[in-house]
Amino acid sequence: MRKRSIIVALMAVAIGGFTAYQWQTPPANSSTQMHHSQYKNIELATGFIYDNPRKLATFSLSDQHGNPFTNQDLQGKWSLFFIGFTSCPDVCPTTLNKLAAAYPELQEISADIQVVFVSADPQRDTQVKRLDYINFFNRDFKAITAEHSQLFPFSRDLGFVYAMVGEGENYQIDHSASYVLVSPTGEKTAVFRAKPKPGLPPQILNEELIADFKKIVNNA
């Protein structure tokens, strides 16, 4: 019964978050042209920048070393977030492999960049499990989580949604596949979204991500 309650709560958050995300996304018939002053003449290949970048609400999670991860950890760095879970069979390992491959070029654009994996599975994704998992891809990456009471508002603030699916210990988690870029001042700045490709699942191409990140950094 408790599991069912958790699933219902997660679905409610997911629906609310998805509605908010849709509201924030430019209309389908609009251009991806930037409207924020310094970006107004820039178009992104794989996403959009928010018209009014805003600071994330106060949060406190834990990283893979057991250290607090708070708003202070965003200061002075570009932070590229995505959400998932370590038992994810395909999307998460594929995403982490792609980001690990793109990371050296992202660092060439800005040495002050951190990649942050947000685990939506705090019950199973312990500190040790997150440490082993993220180290397999890149030891510089962060792997953060918190109890759902803190994780819900944090993920929603970023524009991510997630929901537990199934019963028992082998439940899966449906989650967003986009990346969210937060500026060195802690403002949610841009979203990079997966694009459909013929015969392939939607994906964010590294070359487009790198090019878009360079445009944003060069005009910040």
| CA–CA dist 194, 90 (Å, integer) | 14
Binding site residue list for Cu cation: 88, 92, 175
For residue 117, give every residue at least 6 positions away whose Cβ sits within 8 Å of its Cβ, in sequence order, or none. 82, 83, 84, 92, 96, 130, 134, 141, 142, 143, 144
For residue 51, give every residue at least 6 positions away whose Cβ sits within 8 Å of its Cβ, in sequence order, or none. 35, 36
What are the tokens at 110?
């800005």
Closest to 99 (Cα-Cα) out of 159, 142, 49: 142
User: Which residue has 């959400």 as its token pair?
Assistant: 83
Partners of 172 in beta bridges: 165
Strand extents, DSSP E, the chain: 47-55, 60-62, 68-70, 78-84, 113-119, 142-144, 162-165, 172-175, 179-182, 187-192, 195-197, 200-203
Binding site residue list: 88, 92, 175
